Amino acid sequence: MLDPRSEIYPTIEYRPIQPSDLEALEKIHLALFPIRYEREFFLNVVSGHGIVSWGAVDTSRSDDRRDEIIGFVTTRMIAAKDSEIEDLFRYNSSRKDLTLVYILTLGVVDSYRNLGIASSLVREVVKYAASISNCRGVYLHVISYNQPAISFYKKMLFKLVRRLPMFYYIRGQHYDSYLFVYYVNGGRSPCSPLEIVTSFVVDFRAFVKMLVAKFWSKEDHCGPRWARCQESNTLLAPQSNKRIISGDSTRCHV
């Protein structure tokens, strides 16, 4: 491990997490997080099964552990409609295929802290999300008492969008969670009250214009365009559009 008192900065490189990282990944998670993760989670991470991840390694180490991960970030893709923040995107687009990248875990071993490694890992995630055209953001949860993490994500320009009461249950106790989002590819926060009112006024005007246009269209064309079948109350199209229209009890041929 790096000696914190050393003035020589290590050479850190970033790469996808691979099967050989399994043991180190489990060990670091156990040391850093109060939540115990199932073995299946780690197997999915190292195999890339539904999870995209990056690891940080110190290539300047002289021993045989120069490819051992000393930091990591794990993520997965989520459909925006299946996330807790679907409502944040309803003013942005009518597309139904929007996605988000969710950060599952992020960590750096103690002796490599304050070297910008976590920031670089998050930038890898943001860059990945931005490369996906229908992705609109990167988001994550932070437990409410983790002030260093809260400050970190604010520094990384993530937006704190809401607080989720009793989101975590750890060792018999409930904890709230903060939800942070970093928008990409045109994603943005919900409209301001002024934008919502403006949008409503514009839509209402368009709706009124549509009704007026339909009314005048009917006034202009109802005479020659429609005829009544004497045997029923069914409206019939003109003879140029020959078809059969059924009334209550009578069929009229036109």
User: pLDDT tens across 50-63, in order?
Assistant: 999 999 999 998 88
Would residue 2 count as lying in a domain? Answer: no
Does 210 lie in the same domain as 84? no
Does 70 lie in the same domain as 90? yes
Q: How far apart are CA 58 and CA 170, in angstroms?
A: 33
Amino acid at 142: V
Q: How far apart are CA 61 and CA 72, in angstroms?
A: 18
The residue assigned the tokens 């970190």 is 152
Lookup: tokens for 46: 């190292």
CATH number at residue 133: 3.40.630.30
Does 220 lie in the same domain as 178? no
Average pLDDT, the chain: 79
Lookup: tokens for 134: 């229908």
The H or E element that residue 17 is part of is none
> 35, 55, 57, 58: which is closest to 45 by C-alpha?
55
Q: Which of 158, 190, 222 is the last residue of a domain?
A: 190
What totals of helices (H) and strands (E) does the chain contain, helices first?
Answer: 5, 11
Does 61 lie in the same domain as 35? yes
Query: How many CB atoms lie under 10 A from the CB of residue 13?
Result: 14
Does 101 lie in the same domain as 77? yes
Would the pLDDT of 197 be above 60?
A: no
Question: In the predicted model, what is the mean pLDDT of residues 141-162?
Answer: 96
pLDDT given at position 198: 45
What region does 185 belong to: left with phi over 0, alpha with psi -120 to 50, or beta?
left
Does 156 lie in the same domain as 204? no
Domain that holds residue 248: 195-253
Would residue 240 count as lying in a domain? Answer: yes
Would residue 71 count as lying in a domain? Answer: yes
Query: How many CB atoms lie under 10 A from the CB of residue 102?
Result: 18
Does 179 lie in the same domain as 107? yes
Band (171; pLDDT cuts 50, 70, 90):
confident
pLDDT given at position 158: 97
Sign of CA pseudo-dihedral 30, 34, 39, 41: negative
Does 150 lie in the same domain as 37? yes
Count of structural domains within the chain: 2
Would residue 6 count as lying in a domain? Answer: no
Does 154 lie in the same domain as 201? no
Would residue 124 count as lying in a domain? Answer: yes
